[in-house]
Structure 1
Amino acid sequence: MELSIAEKFLLIAHHPRKARFLTSEPQLNFGLVGTFLLEMSINNQLHIENNRVFPDKSVVPENPTSREIYYLVKGSGKNRTIRLWLRKLSRKANRYRWEVLENLKEKRLMRIERRKFLGIIPYRKSYVTDSRTRDQLLKELKKQILSRHRDTATSNEDMAVLGLIEACKLHRTLTTDRTELKKLRKALKELIKESPIAGTVQQTIRQVQAAVIGAIVASPAAAGGSS
């Protein structure tokens, strides 16, 4: 089954049984935006250089969400930094998330329940319905990381997913064994450095992490200012 980088990321980040995610809200939002930037970079619809995002004016994405982001980048008139785009687009991350979850629902990998709080306020909950596909995806990614003699090169798409696992601290979705976890983290860093798209992935990882830290630091400051 063909899955986009965004679909793989949300499937991995989602709790396998409960209606929640395994990472913080800032990590989820910035990570999701990162999936679109990375996928468009891989597809030559934009490129990332010196922490700045440049649109390719000749290649327009087919995916509606990617196309919206592409035109925002193109229409800005300036080659802005990854960090700025992560922060700007993270404001739309909740909508992007549900668009991706709806795609996963159509592929029968997720279930979305619509409910009402106090019988008035509508809200939605998402659940993984095909844990086998999620488990297989994690198994394949783990094998890519830990295999010393790789039979096949890691695809750019999987490298992007692995980079976001690193950026959003989702290593425990791959293993919960402490010894193996330490080995996996080290091997993942090495794999990312060896990747043909290492520069793009590493720049995005750094900026996602910086944006997450900035959001976390800003939260208590905002709370303090409003008290």
Structure 2
Amino acid sequence: MSVTIAEELLLLAHSEEAGKQLVDSTSLNLALGGALLAELALGERIDLEGRHVVVKDPTPLGDGELDRALARIVEETKPRKPDWWVNKLHAGKLRDRLLTRLADAGVLTEQQGKVLGIFPSKRWPEADGTVEAGVRERIASALGGSDPDPRTAVLVAVMHAVKLERKAFPGADKKRIKEIAEGEWAGAAVARTIASIQAAIMAGAVAAVVAAGAS
């Protein structure tokens, strides 16, 4: 089946059997917004003019979430930087919609539960491992020294931005991951998007520390 880069990220961000999330929700949400933006750039729907995102081609790509994101960019009347869009695109429960879509497609299973017997929670164990296996095979090839295709390079870079590789690929060569994440495999617009994810995550971490210190 065809999945977005954001969905590939989600598969890697959940343990296969227990369906538990491997990174914090704030970082993951930002990464998902960035993954959508990066995929629009790969699809030659958006680009950069100076420091701002611009629409190159408003034609839908045929995926509901990507087309929703593209429509929002088309409708925006003010010039916006990639970091603004990284934050904007993850709003509106994007993560839940993508997880539900993967469950509807039979890739994941949605399991309802409660934390401490009170708070509602969900787990997303894998139902069909073939999609993630294909993703892992592409990444393993790139980590082993092969030149990554732009899509795989974006996925590695986004994964690195949220430090997911430490959980998803614990034995991977850190130098090689950094080399792929910082390479110009997919153009300037994508590189700026990845940098924006990292900046947004860092800003969120700083804000959390400040808030904790003030409490």
Please give the range of the TM-score, normalised by the shorter of the 2 chains: 0.7 to 0.9
Distance (Å, rounded) in 2 between the aligned partners of 1:204 and 1:143: 24
Q: Distance in 2 between matches of 1:117 and 1:9?
A: 25
> Is the deviation greater in 190-199 or in 53-62?
190-199
- What is the count of residue pairs matched by the alignment? 215
Is contact 2:7–2:99 with CA below 8 Å preserved after alignment?
A: yes
Residue 214 (structure 1) aligns with: 203
Residue 171 (str. 1) matches residue 165 (str. 2): yes
Question: 2: distance between equivalents of 1:58 and 1:31?
Answer: 23
- Structure 2 counterpart SS, 1:20: coil
- Residue equivalent to 1:185: 174
Aligned amino acid, residue 185 of structure 1: K
Aligned partner of 2:192 in structure 1 is 203
Question: Residue type matched to 1:66 in 2?
Answer: L
- What stretches of structure 1 of length at least 5 have no aligned partner? none
- Write the letter of the residue equivalent to 2:75: G
Residue 104 of structure 2 is matched in structure 1 by 106
TM-score, structure 1 length as denominator? 0.80
Instruction: Return the alpha-carbon distance in structure 2 between the equivalents of residues 61 and 39 of structure 1.
Output: 10
Cα RMSD of the aligned pairs, angstroms, is 2.8
* Whole-angstrom CA distance in 1 between matches of 2:125 and 2:91: 23
**Is this contact kept in 2: 1:19–1:127, CA < 8 A?**
yes
Which one has the bigger helix percentage?
Answer: 1
Answer yes or no: is the 8 Å Cα contact 1:7–1:100 preserved in 2. yes
Matched, 1:162 2:152: no
Say whether 1:21 aligns with 2:10: no
1:142 pairs with one of 140, 143, 165: 140
User: Could you tell me how far apart the structure 1 residues matched to 2:53 and 2:143 are?
Assistant: 28
Secondary structure class of the residue paired with 1:54: strand
